[in-house]
Amino acid sequence: SQQGEEDPQALSIQEGENATMNCSYKTSINNLQWYRQNSGRGLVHLILIRSNEREKHSGRLRVTLDTSKKSSSLLITASRAADTASYFCATDGGNAGGTSYGKLTFGQGTILTVHP
Amino acid sequence: GAGVSQTPSNKVTEKGKYVELRCDPISGHTALYWYRQSLGQGPEFLIYFQGTGAADDSGLPNDRFFAVRPEGSVSTLKIQRTERGDSAVYLCASSLMGVGANVLTFGAGSRLTVL
């Protein structure tokens, strides 16, 4: 079953604009990750944020995490046509003892289209 | 290898047939995962291996699905008596440690179509 919901389901912007995608989840987590997928095939890891972190940056990516609201956002600044893809958030809740081992629960994704 | 390799990339079969999907993880990665992705959905967890053993198979939908990793490297996902509802992209991933904050490296997937 899907843990979270992503918003919006689809986003269309012009090159150079910023893109913001949101993710909500339901249960407690150890960390939250964002992945990118081109053409419905393999996923590529973008960034991981731990439950005790509130914000993280990587290049043009900025991720925030609000555990009190069970939500995260991914901001892509100065978007490029090559950023066109589907973006998924994935939560790692760990096992009953709280140990994470990569069992991720993915949202349904946001389809981002960046027009040149 | 340099990445996670999955074969075949596409498989078309008839309802009721048996199917095997293969995953060759990144060399040295002890953790291996299978996920399934239906059209328009995010991937769903099927099974996790730490070394040769299936440490968590809670995502396998029923007993028609089985996976092995006999030597702690290559894994095979086996589906018996396939049904049309099994049609999906089956994704394999591996990670270095398997415990802690894991970053998964995914393969390109095997697209299964059951007619």
B102·A30 Cβ contact <8 A? no
- B31, B100, B106 member nearest A43 (Cβ): B106
Is B41's Cβ below 8 Å from some Cβ in A? Answer: yes
Is B10's Cβ below 8 Å from some Cβ in A? Answer: no
Residue A4: per-residue pLDDT: 66
Query: Mutating which of A5, A29, A99, A104 best tests the B interface, going by the most B Cβ atoms within 10 A?
Result: A104
Write the secondary structure of chain B as one string of H (helix), E (strand) and C (coil): CCCCEEECCEEEECCCCCEEEEEECCCCCCEEEEEEECCCCCCEEEEEEECCEEEECCCCCCCCEEEECCCCCCEEEEECCCCHHHCEEEEEEEECCCCCCCCCEECCCEEEEEC
pLDDT band at B97 (very low <50, low <70, confident <90, very high): confident
> Which residues of B fall within a CB distance of 8 Å from A111?
none
Q: Residues A23-40: pLDDT tens digits?
A: 999 988 999 999 999 986
Phi and psi, residue A79, nearest 5°: -60, 155
Residue A7: per-residue pLDDT: 87
Beta-carbon contacts of residue A59 (< 8 Å; ≥ 6 apart)? none
- Cβ atoms of B83 and B15 within 8 Å: the answer is yes
Residue A40: per-residue pLDDT: 62
Residue A6: per-residue pLDDT: 85
- A2, A45, A50 member nearest B103 (Cβ): A45
Q: Residues B5-28: pLDDT tens digits?
A: 999 999 999 999 999 999 999 999
Q: What is the mean pLDDT of residues A71-96?
A: 93
Indicate the range of A3-12, A102-111, B35-44, B45-54 predicted with least confidence.
A3-12
B102·A100 Cβ contact <8 A? yes
B31·A101 Cβ contact <8 A? yes
A1, pLDDT greater than 60: no
Q: Residues A52-61: pLDDT tens digits?
A: 999 999 999 9
Question: Hunting for tokens 């596409």 — which residue is that?
Answer: B10
Higher pLDDT, A81 or A98: A81
How large a percentage of chain A has pLDDT more than 90? 77
Distance CA B113, CA A100 (A): 33
Nearest CA-CA distance, residue A10 and chain B, Å: 12
Phi and psi, residue A106, nearest 5°: -95, 150
- B95, B101, B109 member nearest A31 (Cβ): B101
Q: For residue B53, count other CB atoms closer than 10 A to its CB.
A: 9
Both tokens of residue A49? Answer: 């944020």
pLDDT band at B2 (very low <50, low <70, confident <90, very high): confident
Residue B67: per-residue pLDDT: 98
Residues A23-38 as b/e (b if ≥16 CB within 10 A, e otherwise) read bbbeeebbbbbbbbbe
What residue of B is the nearest CA neighbor of A102?
Answer: B102
Q: What is the mean pLDDT of residues B24-46?
A: 95
A20, pLDDT greater than 60: yes
Query: β-pairing, A10-14 with A110-115?
Result: parallel
How far out from the chain centre does Cα B16 lie? 20
- A99, A104, A105 member nearest B104 (Cβ): A104
> Which residues of A fall within a CB distance of 8 Å from B91?
42-43
Is B96's Cβ below 8 Å from some Cβ in A? Answer: no
